[in-house]
Chain A
Amino acid sequence: MHVESSHAEKYVMVIDIDKCTGCGACVIACSQENNIPVRTDETDKYRSINWLVIYRITNGEPPPKTKVAYIPRPCMHCDHAICVHVCPAQATDKDRIGVVSQIYPRCFGCRYCMAACPYHARVFGWWDPVFPKGTERGLNPDVSTRMRGVVEKCSFCHHRYQKARDKAIAEGRVILKDGEYITACAEACPTKAIYFGNIKDPNSKVAKLVKSPFAFRLLEKFGTEPSVYYISRQEWVRRQADYYLEEIHKKAHE
């Protein structure tokens, strides 16, 4: 479903791969912010509930020429979200600000959206969710906890948007300033490799960053129009991500 938002806000994320050191603070911050359950054995990464995953890629050269890069991957919140198109129960939808939402009590776990998503951004609750005993006290009341048997995924911390918007409205305005609403991962990142903001705001950092010829998105060839952009000045990283269009982008923005 193609969504061209005439709304003044469309939130995107820009991740600078050259700045990401793979430390994982974003993953932990996301887990704590979004009430992610954790089992005693999470070594089966194909059944582990992770909204934000960090991929590790190398340039394939032997040492000492080996280079390593880390690619944090949240949900892409695609403009042409295939998952929204195929969900039989309308449990997922692309909203006005660009976030692809998920209604957990409506999802009945058919996993069609998971088969559709090429980014593997959607994860399934294979077990009843558990939290280490006592840590229920530390759960975030702004985020619904999920049950087993449904699909969940990164929400661009949508609950933070609602809070920021409430605050702005109380101050008499509707549009948020750059940085007023950011995701937990962007906030935690020590190198500030993750940028998050409103691409329709010409003064926002993200609006400027996406113009870079080194900015690309993953799997653009599938036509999903993701909202997460990546930047890398290292050519090998861009090639690993299947991006070859620096020259064309440069010309387009000259």
Chain B
Amino acid sequence: MLTRRDFLKFVVGGAVGTLFSPLPWRMADEMVLFSQTWTYQPPKGKEKWVYTLCQLCPGGCGLKVRKIDDRVVKIEGNQLNPVNRGGLCPLGASSVQLLYGEHRRVKKPLKRVGERGEGKWEEIEWSTALNILTQKLQELRINGHGYTVACLDGYRNELVSGLIRRFCQAYGTPNYLTMPSGDETTSLVINALQGHEGHVGFDLENSDYILSFGSGLLEGWGAPVRMQIAYRYIYENPFKPKAKIIQIESRMSDTATRVDEWVGINPGTETALALGIAHVLIKQGIYNQEFINNYTAGFDSFKKLVLEQYKLERVSKITGVSKEDIIRIAKEFGQAKRPIAIWGRGKGDIPCGLYEIMAIHSLNALIGNINRKGGVICFNDPSETWWPEFGLDEIAKKTLSEPRIDTSKFPLITSLLYRFAENVNSQAHYKINALLIFEANPCYAAPDPALFIQALKNIPFVVTFTSFLDETAKYADLVLPAAFFLEKWEGITTPRGLQYPIFGVSKPVLKSPYDVKHPADVILTLAKNIKGIAQAMPWRNYKEVLKAAVKKLYQKGEGKLADKEYLVSLNLDGSSLPGSFEAMWEILNKCIWFNPNVKKEGFKTASGKFEFSPKELNLSHYEEWELKGEKEEFPLMLIPSERLMLTDGYLGNAPYMVKALPNTVLIKNDLVVEINPATAAKYHLIEGDKVLLKTPFGEAKVRVHISELVLQDVIAIPIGLGHNAYDEYLEGKGINAHQLLGYAKEKLTGIATWALSRANLIKI
């Protein structure tokens, strides 16, 4: 019979025995699974590597993409690409997060419900969206108001820009705008000084003296990865660099700390310094007389101006650079074997003044490095010249003759976005009835974005083609999901600043998880459905456009295929073009076409020479930027600072990139600005203090980081944060530097830049 004692023995024995079995311990492990968030473990699958080209910046990097089944899991650099040679920049490396970020991708066409800016939409079908768009455009065109349609092109080195331009022409609107950057002004200057409409490259790898007027060589200027490789090549031996680099800017950027010399100049005075250097070159006769005599015109008037008006006394006072330094640098520059002067602030997106670029480029003429090894290389990019001719119908001919909406006193200067906003607001010229935005974010990045947002109130129909729910999407009536670069066909043309042309084709790496279209395909559809423009767009889809472009390129027979494993060197070997066009088409996403021996484009001005003083522009000269606000109220200067880890404009920083930002840029949700210790002392500020940063364009709370690397009375603000769109990883962090910087105008040309603004700090 079972006694109480037996029972107790059994229970106790059982309990103790169980402890010695795996049961309770495995249960503990199972408890862990139930009691916590257990991270998702991705399933294994079939691995596949495919190739494409990055389109996140005009840098032209070749990419290798790792896929597991249908999922894209890794982006790496393509070693077969001579531009990036297997390397990557942080933005390219974080493409997967941009691709798959559920909370920021536009998944379906959206129609606005509620007020503009509220960010409330309803999802609609593409057919509906296209109908709305087609109807609107058709209507405006038929009524002779085609010119009241404006297109804002956010693309940079993609072939689709040509298609948008073509569409505007065929449709009949002169209002083709681009997001401001240094590029348009550069084209204008080169066209005026050299009569050349093509591409400008800088042969920095072969130079031995680089005068950089604020170009962020390591912050993303030009083709970012190419510049990193060039830096390595130049500084292979840090004690015997192959080139001396002088970095001229108001804040000692990382580039400045790593090259030979930083020259701190007062913000916005680059033109004066360039002309001061010209003064020394000319005065001391250290310029290339042979080049000047044989290849330039107008030198005498240039010489007169520079010698008389840009004496070092004056230049030194304006720029804050000592006379001794100006003389020394000018001498070094003039006596170097292959010197070059370059422009384009920060990443090159911050516009330069027209006379600023003229002044800097005149230095290149003075030492005669144009189209020479180590100098400025001019050539025609075949991807820009392949487009076939087409005819305009009567409607287009008529409406194209209307003046642009963003005209300034200078008809040559275009894409003045602030001018656009001003004129739309005042309706001084005419009303804009429709605005089509292509992968750009002007409501965040336009000069004085608040002004632009205000202008939108006067535009009844705003459509944006975008991959992301950005600020502009909030103000649009129709948000059309654009395919992300990994999801679409595209032609990648020559990157900024590269000294030879390239062409690559990006093939879709995956089928988009969302209902997206390539804006190019939408344009082709519109062309079919809007009467009168079909003849300009004889292609069924964008892939056909690309094929046609490649065919033309192939038929020309120039250049070669990049199919070597390029290392960090100057190797530009390649293979001859394949035997058939089909073979070329197949390989162009993996091995780009490039032409390091491209025919250089000479001077095509009326005189056939480099013009120091072109007809419409006259001579370069320094004039203070027109700044809003009074010095008394805003005694300090605000300048933007850029870095590779913070992207600006349309592409919001990926979560990994926001994570990588140091505490000198972002602390919790506070943006951090840099000020000089003397400035800090003046305002009684210590490291980390919260201040109110005020400019004539707005005010916001920031924190301060005290750094000797900024000039006294200058505040450096990181540009790229302060979004109120995208997703929880970016929204609400920091403040929008664009809003505080507003814009400064170059008096004679009306060109606007956000390189500097008046400002003040108030301790809070």
Contact = CB atoms under 8 A, between A and B. Distances in A.
Which 8 pairs of residues, A with B, have the shortest CB-CB distance? A134-B102, A190-B87, A190-B228, A138-B96, A145-B39, A28-B93, A68-B257, A42-B659
21 contacts: A18-B235, A19-B232, A21-B218, A23-B228, A23-B645, A28-B94, A31-B94, A31-B659, A41-B669, A43-B667, A63-B708, A66-B252, A66-B709, A128-B36, A129-B37, A132-B103, A141-B68, A142-B44, A187-B76, A190-B84, A191-B87
A187 to B, nearest CB: 6
A142 B76 CA distance: 16
Given A63-B264, A233-B239, A132 B655 contact: yes
A6 interface: no
B36 A148 contact: yes
Given A24-B90, A148-B36, A135 B100 contact: yes
A188 B88 contact: yes
B232 A67 contact: no
Contacts of A91: none
B96 A25 contact: no
Interface in B75-112: 75-77, 84-90, 92-94, 96-97, 99-103, 105
Given A19-B232, A191-B568, A146 B87 contact: no
Nearest to B251: A63
Most buried by A among B100, B218, B644: B100
Interface in B98-140: 99-103, 105
B97 A135 contact: yes
A42 B76 contact: no
B663 interface: yes
Contacts of B323: none
A134 B218 contact: no
A28 B657 contact: yes
B102 A141 contact: no
Given A21-B258, A67-B257, A191 B231 contact: yes
A38 interface: yes
Nearest to B68: A141
A27 B660 contact: yes
Contacts of A41: 668-669
Given A18-B238, A131-B40, 14 more contacts: A23-B228, A23-B644, A24-B660, A37-B39, A64-B252, A64-B262, A68-B257, A132-B102, A133-B101, A134-B102, A134-B103, A135-B655, A142-B44, A146-B39
Contacts of A35: 42
B729 interface: yes
Interface in A1-54: 18-19, 21-25, 27-29, 31-33, 35-43, 45, 48, 50
A29 B96 CA distance: 11
Contacts of B36: 128, 147-149
A21 B76 contact: no
A64 B76 contact: no
A82 interface: no
A148 B37 contact: yes
A132 B727 contact: yes
Interface in B229-271: 229, 231-232, 235, 237-239, 252, 254, 257-258, 261-264
Interface in B148-206: none
Nearest to A108: B32
Contacts of B89: 23, 25, 190
Contact of B39 (A22, A27, A129): A129
B21 interface: no
B604 interface: no
Interface string B698-741: 00000000001100000000000000000111000000000000
A26 to B, nearest CB: 9
B34 interface: no
B252 A63 contact: yes
Nearest to A42: B659
Given A66-B708, A132-B101, A192-B87, A38 B73 contact: no
A58 B256 CA distance: 13
A27 B94 CA distance: 10
Contacts of A68: 254, 257-258
B659 A63 contact: no
A38 B232 contact: no
Interface of B: 32, 36-45, 68, 71-77, 84-90, 92-94, 96-97, 99-103, 105, 218, 224-225, 228-229, 231-232, 235, 237-239, 252, 254, 257-258, 261-264, 513, 567-568, 644-645, 654-663, 666-669, 708-709, 727-729
Contacts of B74: 32-33, 138, 140, 184
A87 interface: no
A191 B232 contact: yes
Contacts of B662: 45, 56
A85 to B, nearest CB: 26
A137 interface: yes
A136 interface: yes
Contacts of B228: 21, 23, 190-191
Contacts of B90: 23-25, 27-28
B656 A38 contact: yes
Contacts of A22: 254
Contacts of A48: 659
A193 B568 CA distance: 10
Contacts of A192: 86-87, 232, 567-568
A32 B97 CA distance: 9
A202 interface: no
Interface in A112-154: 128-129, 131-142, 144-149
A21 B32 CA distance: 43
A234 interface: yes
Nearest to A131: B40
Contacts of B238: 18, 233-234
B668 A43 contact: yes
Contacts of A146: 39
A62 interface: yes
Contact of B87 (A25, A43, A62, A135): A25
A136 B32 CA distance: 22
A165 to B, nearest CB: 16
B183 to A, nearest CB: 23
Contacts of B663: 43, 45
Contact of B658 (A42, A139, A187): A42
A234 B96 CA distance: 37
Most buried by B among A42, A50, A233: A42
Nearest to A21: B218
Interface in A55-78: 56, 58, 62-64, 66-68
A32 B100 CA distance: 12
Nearest to B70: A137
Contacts of B658: 42
A21 B100 contact: no
B567 to A, nearest CB: 8
Nearest to A146: B39
A161 B645 CA distance: 29
Contacts of A206: none
B102 A133 contact: yes
Contacts of A81: none
A84 interface: no
A22 B220 CA distance: 12
A32 B39 contact: no
A43 B669 CA distance: 9
A38 B729 contact: yes
Contact of B86 (A131, A187, A193): A187
A141 B257 contact: no
B88 A190 contact: yes
A66 B151 CA distance: 46
Contact of B73 (A36, A64, A139): A139
Contact of A40 (B75, B252, B728): B728
A193 B229 CA distance: 10
B246 to A, nearest CB: 11
A25 to B, nearest CB: 5
B42 A135 contact: no
Given A23-B89, A63-B262, A192-B568, A138 B71 contact: yes
